[in-house]
A and B are shown apart, each in its own frame.
Chain A
């Protein structure tokens, strides 16, 4: 460290200043959060962060392990050569990664960096949180009298993931994805592999974690802003209810293992809008949009999130019309 470096104000100084200031004004912060609405929002904010962080850690560790131990050649052998054929295989692979959506973003990004076709990596991104066994069992438990709900959810989500993968393979441009998402970790062997794992995981955690917090803040704000009377007003209007429930799935950012219980509790609504809630939620919500913008770049998120929303709503309605009579 040079003398000039030492004289400059670095982020570490700012960091310490923020900490000291926060401790000094603690009574003020506590006072400000004593309003009931802010307390409720703060609890939801901490809950979203605390609930999602272990899954994000799992995701970055998996991402690090893929970077360190799975070579691009190995992945190429495992997937069909044609990108269009690789999409459904990636969708089926989503069945085996149990976890919330936060885990799948770093993993999908790492698959992309290791040479998996973009469309297949994005299909995995959408399928893994939506159709893994934990989520499907949770759905079955939440809808005890409606086993078709599980089938409709699996079909709707898998269709969303595959359609988005094919769509990206066809119409997507590689340039929309930020170059940093494709940066492969340096190749190494032996003890160096563990260093690659640790550094990749640490870096992914810092960059994705900040965006996760951003999503948590948004979800907490909406959780106290959405008036509950909306639900009762929607009971008779299926089409409007589908749209509103899809938008709610985006802004509430529930974890995919829990959203079935919330959907089940909205018993005043027909099944179709609630299915839309379950199909849209794991594919696109504010927490995921923030994570995707951070991982793949804003140009990507600005196109991918709206497209996924439209495709997910259509797939949910189609699956619902076929499976739920």
Chain B
């Protein structure tokens, strides 16, 4: 690959990083704190390419450094692969992980046991909890803080056999390490297509999140409505 092609490719790559960090698109792939890394990396890549472009144009640019040495064999063509993420980001911008990824990750919840005693729930009629926190409390809270209480959860619909589940992915670095947390919805739900985002109000079945059920609690639904996908689809 010629040097000038490499420069153009780097500008596109840096541009793609800046593009997804400019709005909420990056939240489909990485956690919010990654934004500044993406902006910095995108800027550095563009600057490196621009510096090389300018230096190659200058008449005295006889020191192309190591850039001119030829790789041999297939390795010569490997830089072309950098075009793949650029094209996928610009043309497709794949959506955040959804029902398909949940059904691919087994039948168990990935909730970690953080504690066996949790604080009281936030005040109010049906306080909003993250799906991960609800699963944790349902599975491990010995004080039973979610038993007999209505809670509000937001997540997307996943079909498992005949049952319908509400799920949310938890990530710690990027979508490659995503782990699902699921809640089985019980009640008259009507027709729901998978991947629809829902706000669900209901109360947990005591003792439903056990090792036997894969720590998937059951929730009797008292209210259910479709909502817009949140800007940040993951929990952390």
Contact = CB atoms under 8 A, between A and B. Distances in A.
Given A42-B94, A261-B179, A268 B13 contact: no
Contacts of B227: none
Interface string B1-21: 110111011100100010010
Interface stretch (A83-91, A151-159, A203-211, A305-313): A203-211
Contacts of B69: 180, 183
Interface in A55-82: 55, 57-58, 61
B105 A199 contact: no
B83 A138 contact: no
Contact of B81 (A33, A198, A210, A254): A210
Contacts of B45: 53, 57, 205
B174 A15 contact: no
B88 interface: yes
Residue picked from A47, A183, A186, most chain B C-beta under 10 Å? A47
B51 A198 contact: yes
A47 B176 contact: yes
Q: Interface majority SS on B: helix, strand, loop or mixed?
A: helix
A11 to B, nearest CB: 4
A178 to B, nearest CB: 9
B86 to A, nearest CB: 9
A241 to B, nearest CB: 15
Contacts of A255: 173-174, 176-177
Interface in A182-238: 183, 185-186, 195-196, 198-203, 205-207, 209-211, 213-214, 216-217, 219-220, 223-224, 228-229, 231-232
Contacts of B29: 43, 46-47, 50-51
Nearest to A10: B2
Interface residues of B, number: 74
Contacts of B51: 198, 202
Interface in B76-110: 78-85, 87-89, 91-92, 94-101, 104-108, 110
B172 A258 contact: yes
A36 B100 contact: yes
A53 B45 CA distance: 10
A286 B82 CA distance: 17
Given A54-B37, A54-B40, A180-B71, A219 B92 contact: no
Interface string A236-270: 00000000000000001111011101101101100
Q: Interface majority SS on A: helix, strand, loop or mixed?
A: helix
A265 B88 contact: no
Contacts of A196: 65
B100 A39 contact: yes
B121 interface: no
Given A11-B2, A200-B66, A207-B79, A50 B87 contact: no
Contacts of B4: 12
A275 interface: no
Interface of A: 10-12, 15, 18, 22-23, 26, 29-30, 33, 36-37, 39-40, 42-51, 53-55, 57-58, 61, 138, 142, 144-145, 180, 183, 185-186, 195-196, 198-203, 205-207, 209-211, 213-214, 216-217, 219-220, 223-224, 228-229, 231-232, 252-255, 257-259, 261-262, 264-265, 267-268, 294
17 contacts: A12-B8, A40-B98, A43-B28, A44-B97, A44-B176, A47-B28, A48-B176, A50-B20, A50-B38, A54-B41, A144-B114, A180-B71, A200-B66, A206-B6, A206-B79, A253-B176, A255-B173
Which 7 pairs of residues, A with B, have the shortest CB-CB distance?
A: A258-B173, A228-B106, A36-B100, A51-B174, A47-B175, A210-B78, A265-B110
